[in-house]
């Protein structure tokens, strides 16, 4: 593996140095103009097999990994979990061993259990990329978010970044806290007390339960959806007034810096955590830019992690 990125897998942001994070961001930069051209074909992964196994639903992450692999020339296979032997009771490790026996060159996975990607990586002979594991991490989302901020603002260091919403259940929040703080961002979290993790989990990042106070003067306001599928029913029932207290409206955005940008990893719940006129604002919203840069970031990760196999 290249000395700039000595890791075999990409399981999380935890364990990456600021230099290694910046290396991946710099690698992604080259693919942005490439992806905006009419013809988008590079053959560096020609002859390599990429398997995407998503045990949870996905639009942006799964599709962008498929697009990324195909633009790099890989043979991309999407495992259809609903039609797989998982439905017959096959364990995750048995599924991984079965796929490994088919000799893929890179394996991208998403799973509902935190730690699943690391467990699978322990038995795979090829690089594993974590596309999201339960409440754990979502490293490529944090990388694309960092790249979006860096391109919009010219830097990350010293920026005031507010991550707002369901922090407790969000792998996106965890990976972003690690990545953006490593790159010098002044990161805080904002949300109802019931949706905030423990102080220890925040690693010293300040937390706010008052939305207006939390986003005051922020250069970046990153909204997250309520993950009702990961919370107790009793808690979900207490969030009916969520938009009134924590929804980002144009009036609320006025509390942030005048040139603050708005981000959201998707899927968006319009009228819940964010108003449509804010999400669709062509000047302030970077939401679709996040999607675009996600392809570039995932191309960079696929390229970097397979270089040793291609050498």
225 vs 86 pLDDT, higher one: 225
User: What whole-number distance in Å separates Cα of residue 126 and Cα of residue 159?
Assistant: 37
Render pLDDT for 281-311 as a digit per residue (tens, 0 to 9). 999 999 999 999 999 999 999 999 999 999 8
Q: Same structural domain for residues 149 and 45?
A: no
Residue 13 lies in a domain: no
Determine which of 10-14, 126-130, 229-233, 239-243 has the lowest per-residue pLDDT on average: 229-233
Same domain, 131 and 143: no
Annotated active-site residue 61? The verdict is: yes
CA atoms within 13 A on the CB side of 66: 12
Average pLDDT over residues 222-239: 65
Same domain? For 212 and 296 the reply is no
Residues 47 and 130 in one domain: yes
Residue 272 lies in a domain: yes
Query: What is residue 171's predicted lDDT score, i.e. its pLDDT?
Result: 96
Same structural domain for residues 276 and 145? yes
Active site residue 49: no
Residues 6+ apart with CB under 8 A from 2: 304, 307
Residue-wise pLDDT for 4-34, tens only, equals 799 999 999 999 999 999 999 999 999 999 9
Note whether residue 3 is domain-resident: no
Catalytic residue among 39, 80, 88, 103: 88
pLDDT at 83: 73
Q: State pLDDT tens for residues 180-220.
A: 999 999 999 999 998 999 888 899 999 999 999 999 999 99
Q: Are residues 149 and 24 in the same domain?
A: no
155 and 264 within one domain: yes
Is 236 a residue whose pLDDT tops 90?
A: no
Sorted by sequence, the CB contacts under 8 Å of residue 213 that are 6+ apart come out as none
What is residue 229's predicted lDDT score, i.e. its pLDDT? 56
Supply the mean pLDDT for the chain.
Answer: 93
Same domain for 146 and 132, yes or no, is: no
144 with 277, same domain: the answer is yes
Confidence of residue 108 (pLDDT cuts 50, 70, 90): very high
Residues 91 and 119 in one domain: yes
Residues 60, 70, 118, 228: which is the catalytic one? 60
pLDDT classification of 237: cutoffs 50, 70, 90: low
Give residue 54's pLDDT band: very low, low, confident or very high (50, 70, 90): very high
pLDDT band at 234 (very low <50, low <70, confident <90, very high): very low
Give yes or no: residues 65 and 155 share one domain: no
Alpha-carbon gap, residue 269 to 225, rounded angstroms: 7
On whether residue 43 sits in a domain, the answer given is: yes
181 is catalytic: no
pLDDT of residue 243: 85
Q: Is residue 138 annotated as part of the catalytic site, yes or no?
A: yes
So what's the pLDDT on residue 9?
Answer: 98
Q: What are the phi and psi torsion angles at 244 (to 5°)?
A: -60, -35
Which residue pairs from 117-122 have beta carbons closer than 8 angstroms and sit at least 24 positions apart in sequence? 117/9, 117/11, 117/12, 118/11, 119/92, 119/93, 120/92, 120/93, 120/96, 121/8, 121/9, 121/11
> Catalytic pick from 138, 174, 264, 298?
138
Q: What is the DSSP string of the chain?
A: --TT---S-B--STT--HHHHHHHHHHHHHHHHHHHSS-----TTTT-EEEEEESS--SHHHHHHHHHHHHTT-EEEEE-GGGSGGGGT--HHHHHHHHHHT--SEEEEEESSTTHHHHHHTT-SS-EEEEEETTS--HHHHHHHHHHHHHHHS--TT-EEEEES--TT-HHHHHHHHHHHHTT-EEEEES-GGGS--HHHHTT--EESSHHHHHTT-SEEEE----GGGS-HHHHHTTTTHHHHH-B-HHHHTTS-TT-EEE--S---BTTTB-HHHHT-TTTB-HHHHHHHHHHHHHHHHHHHHHHHH-
**Which listed residue (71, 110, 160, 181) is catalytic?**
110
Residue 6 lies in a domain: no
Categorize the per-residue pLDDT at 51 as very low, low, confident or very high, splitting at 50, 70 and 90: very high
Domain that holds residue 118: 18-137+291-310
Same domain, residue pair 133 and 29: yes
What CATH number has the domain bearing residue 128?
Answer: 3.40.50.1370
In a domain, 9, yes or no: no
Q: Is 305 inside a domain boundary? A: yes
Condensed to tens digits (0 to 9), the pLDDT of residues 109-120 reads 999 999 999 999
Please count the structural domains in the chain. 2
Does the structure show a pLDDT above 90 at 60? yes
Task: Decide if 70 is catalytic.
Answer: no
Q: Is residue 8 part of a domain?
A: no
Confidence class of residue 89 from pLDDT cuts 50, 70 and 90?
confident
């Amino acid at each position: 593996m290249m000395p700039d990125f000595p890791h075999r897998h990409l399981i999380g942001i935890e364990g990456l140095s600021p230099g290694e994070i910046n290396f991946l961001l710099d690698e992604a930069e080259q693919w942005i103009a490439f992806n905006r051209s009419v013809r988008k074909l590079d053959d560096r992964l020609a002859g390599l097999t990429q398997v995407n196994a998503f045990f949870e639903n996905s639009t942006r992450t799964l599709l962008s990994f498929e697009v990324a692999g195909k633009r790099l020339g890989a043979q991309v296979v999407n495992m259809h979990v609903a039609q797989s032997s998982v439905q017959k009771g096959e364990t995750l490790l048995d599924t991984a061993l079965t796929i490994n026996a088919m000799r893929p060159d890179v394996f991208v996975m998403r799973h509902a259990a935190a730690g699943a990607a690391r467990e699978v990586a322990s038995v795979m002979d090829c690089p594993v990329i974590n596309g999201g594991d339960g409440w754990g991490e979502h490293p490529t989302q944090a990388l694309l978010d960092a790249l979006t901020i860096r391109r919009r603002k010219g830097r990350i260091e010293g920026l005031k970044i507010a991550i707002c919403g369901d922090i407790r259940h969000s792998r996106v929040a965890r990976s972003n806290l690690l990545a953006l703080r490593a790159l010098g961002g002044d990161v805080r979290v904002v949300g109802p007390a019931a949706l905030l993790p423990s102080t220890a989990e925040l690693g010293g990042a300040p937390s706010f339960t008052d939305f207006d106070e939390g986003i005051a003067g922020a250069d970046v306001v990153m909204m997250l959806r309520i993950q009702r599928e990961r919370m107790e029913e009793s808690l979900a029932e207490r969030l009916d007034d969520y938009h009134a207290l924590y929804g980002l409206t144009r009036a609320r955005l006025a509390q942030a810096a005048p040139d603050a940008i708005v981000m959201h990893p998707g899927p968006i719940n319009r009228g819940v955590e964010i108003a449509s006129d804010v999400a669709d604002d062509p000047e302030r919203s970077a939401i679709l830019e996040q999607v675009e840069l996600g392809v570039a970031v995932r191309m960079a990760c696929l390229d970097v992690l397979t270089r040793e196999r291609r050498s």
